[in-house]
């Protein structure tokens, strides 16, 4: 299948090189818009990455149509990963920016198959907002959505 066009300056992107066939990947799904392949550093067996073929670094920098095409395929790919690994559930996540743990600056979604008691993500670091803090943050977020 033909690769989607890359933006100028994306020649160093390892995922773009996978899309172009310049670097091998263990592909599990591919079409005109998306490539899905097994993660080389898995958290669990079947840990799969789903990427748009068109380069974009993060969710908010991605063209809405590219994001929609990628998102539209996540469910089908996740269902196949779960069936193939006999998983009890799965996580879908995307790290956006270095502070969030993004290592490759090309948008990608992790599908991580889970088994009951697998000890993956054993702790969610939640906390309680201080009084008034939640509304203050919501106001600031809403102001950026206008």
**C-alpha dihedral over 51, 52, 53, 57, to 10 degrees?**
-90
- In order, the DSSP letters of 70-138 are HHHHHHHHHHHHHHHHT-SEEEEE---SGGGT--SSS--EEEEEE-TT--TT------PPPTTHHHHHH
Structure tokens at 135: 């509304």
Which residues are within 8 A (CB) of 40 and not within 5 positions of it... i.e. 6 or more apart? none
CA torsion sign, 84 to 85 to 89 to 94?
negative
* Active site members: 108
Structure tokens at 20: 């172009």
């Amino acid at each position: 299948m033909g690769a989607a066009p890359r933006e100028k300056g994306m020649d160093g992107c390892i995922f773009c090189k996978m899309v172009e066939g310049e670097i091998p990947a263990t592909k599990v799904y591919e079409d005109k818009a998306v490539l899905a392949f097994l993660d080389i550093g898995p958290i669990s067996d079947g840990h799969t990455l789903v990427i748009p073929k068109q380069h974009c670094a993060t969710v908010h920098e991605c063209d809405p149509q590219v994001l929609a095409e990628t998102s539209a395929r996540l469910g089908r790919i996740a269902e196949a990963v779960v069936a193939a690994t006999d998983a009890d559930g799965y996580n879908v996540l995307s790290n956006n920016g270095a502070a969030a743990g993004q290592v490759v600056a090309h948008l990608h979604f992790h599908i991580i198959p889970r088994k009951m008691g697998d000890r993956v993500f054993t702790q969610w670091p939640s906390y309680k907002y201080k009084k008034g803090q939640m509304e203050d943050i919501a106001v600031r977020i809403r102001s950026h959505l206008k």
